[in-house]
Each structure stands twice: as C-alpha cells, then as structure tokens.
C-alpha cells in the first residue's frame, strides 16, 4: 500500500500562487461574498432577465446592446462568458412560411401552358409573396402582363385574405382596359378561387387559368415574369 503524504502550505503562499488576496480567501472561508462575486451574480441575473424578456432568442451581442441601452457599461465578451456559464443559449427562430390554403373546389385547368402572348393584356399572371419589414411580415399580391412583363396591379397588406388579390386586380383594371378573353393565370390558392376575385373576372369576361396541383413548373411562369 502506498502511503499518501499531505503537504501543508501557508495561506500566504497558496494565495500568492493562485493570485488571490488573503482577504478574499478569508471572506470565502467565512461564507462572505466578495464584491466581485456579487457584481457577477447581479449581472448574470440582469442578463437572464433580458434573455427571458425576448423569448430566449437573443444571443450575447443583442443582450449586450440591451444592457448598454439600460445604462450598464458591460463588454460583449463578459456577457458571452456569463451566458455560457448560465447555459443561456438563444433559440433558433423558425423560418417564416406563409400558410396559404389550396382551394378545395372550383379549380381551373392550366389554359396558358402552350400559349405565347402576342400583345399586351392577353395574359395576366398573378402570385402572392411575403416581405419582411420593421413592423413584421407583409403580403404582396402582384399581377403582371405576360407580354410586356410589366406590373399592372399590386397590393401590399398584413392579411392573406381574398381582399388582397381583389384590390390588386381592381388596381390593374384602373390602369388597363383588357378586352374580353383575357387569360388570368394563378395558383390554386383560396384567394384566387374566391367569389371576391372571380366576380370581377366574370364581369370583364376574363378566362381563369390555374397551375396544376403540386406542379412547381407551372409556378415558374410567374417567377420568370417577375425576374
């Protein structure tokens, strides 16, 4: 059996080796919190408050920015270290995907698949996209003339209701006066199959056309026009 030897060192020597003051050592031994430890604890509490106040999505750079706005003089490296120490890891934000609904009925066939426009206002194509703004996500309905590739109508709103496309169509009809027989092509979204959009198309005697269900190549037509 190997006999274990214990070596005794003076407090002064140990503190010098660890670069800790003897007064701090005695406070620690007596259960007293040092001013440095108290400052670190209070800062960690403020960091956690900011972290939770922003749905746990802020990393150390943004937490640091908020603390500075509150008047604290704190470095981003210190905040990052304390966040690691407290295991505060920012949650990743989900990718934004607009939830459009495919119309259950009244879907139209693709009537422009083999057509090449020969003049303006012969084929209009429409689509809905989304735009990031400082106020949040907005939806943009666009109507393009396939021959000129010109935007003839559009509407930006915070709602995906049928009124979004309806207003874009109304704006297009104020600008242009298409003859009967205009092809109006879109996807099968519920906005385009709604009465609010179909009624003005019937009034101007337009011919509705829709992309095939699940056919991404039909949708490329609209994207091509927007490019």
Shared domain for 143 and 221, answered yes or no, is: yes
**Domain total of the chain:** 2
What is the C-alpha separation between 164 and 18, in angstroms, rounded? Answer: 69
Give the pLDDT of residue 91: 80
CATH number at residue 157: 3.30.420.10
What is the C-alpha separation between 192 and 93, in angstroms, rounded? Answer: 31
Give the pLDDT of residue 227: 44
Shared domain for 64 and 127, answered yes or no, is: no
Instruction: Examine the fold and report which residue of 33, 62, 85 is the final residue of a domain before the chain moves on.
Output: 85
Nearest CA-CA partner of 124 in 106, 105, 94, 148:
148
In a domain, residue 98? The reply is no
- Residue 221's domain spans which residues? 123-226
Q: Which two tokens stand for residue 226?
A: 């927007």
Shared domain for 67 and 136, answered yes or no, is: no
Give the pLDDT of residue 36: 78
Number of other residues whose CB lies within 10 A of the CB of residue 23: 11
Nearest CA-CA partner of 183 in 126, 104, 129, 107:
126
Shared domain for 75 and 27, answered yes or no, is: yes
In a domain, residue 58? The reply is yes
Shared domain for 142 and 209, answered yes or no, is: yes
DSSP 11: H
In a domain, residue 96? The reply is no
Give the pLDDT of residue 93: 62
Give the pLDDT of residue 31: 63
In a domain, residue 4? The reply is no
In a domain, residue 220? The reply is yes
Q: Residue for token digits 């890891």? A: 89
For the chain, 227 residues long, give each residue's pLDDT as a single digit of tens: 555 555 677 777 777 777 767 776 676 677 666 677 788 889 999 999 999 888 888 899 999 999 999 898 999 999 999 999 888 888 876 555 555 555 555 789 999 988 999 999 999 999 999 888 776 788 999 999 999 999 999 999 988 899 999 999 999 999 999 999 999 999 998 899 999 999 999 999 999 999 887 554 454 444 444 44
What kind and span of H or E run contains 222?
Answer: helix 216-226
CB-based contact 192:227 (threshold 8 Å): no
What kind and span of H or E run contains 188?
Answer: none
CB-based contact 141:154 (threshold 8 Å): yes
Question: How many angstroms separate the most distant Cα atoms in the chain?
Answer: 105
In a domain, residue 127? The reply is yes
Give the pLDDT of residue 68: 92
Instruction: Examine the fold and report which residue of 31, 61, 85 is the final residue of a domain before the chain moves on.
Output: 85
Shared domain for 205 and 131, answered yes or no, is: yes
In a domain, residue 101? The reply is no
In a domain, residue 159? The reply is yes
């Amino acid at each position: 059996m190997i006999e274990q030897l214990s070596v005794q060192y003076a407090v002064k020597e140990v503190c010098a080796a660890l670069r800790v003051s003897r007064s701090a050592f005695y406070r620690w031994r007596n259960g007293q919190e040092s001013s440095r430890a108290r400052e670190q604890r209070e800062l960690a509490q403020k960091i956690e408050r900011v972290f939770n106040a922003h749905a746990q999505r802020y990393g150390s750079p943004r937490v640091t920015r908020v603390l500075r706005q509150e008047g604290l003089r704190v470095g981003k490296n210190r905040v990052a270290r304390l966040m690691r120490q407290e295991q505060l890891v920012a949650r990743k934000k989900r990718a934004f995907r607009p939830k459009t609904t495919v119309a259950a009925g009244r879907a139209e066939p693709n009537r422009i698949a083999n057509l090449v426009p020969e003049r303006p206002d012969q084929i209009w194509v429409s689509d809905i996209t989304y735009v990031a703004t400082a106020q949040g996500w907005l939806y943009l309905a666009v109507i393009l003339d396939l021959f000129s590739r010109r935007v003839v109508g559009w509407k930006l709103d915070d709602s995906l209701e049928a009124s979004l496309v309806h207003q874009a169509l109304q704006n297009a009809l104020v600008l242009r006066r298409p003859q009967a027989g205009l092809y109006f092509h879109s996807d099968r979204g519920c906005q385009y199959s709604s009465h609010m959009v179909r009624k003005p198309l019937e009034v101007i005697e337009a011919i509705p056309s829709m992309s095939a269900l699940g056919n991404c190549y039909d949708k490329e037509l609209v994207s091509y026009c927007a490019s």
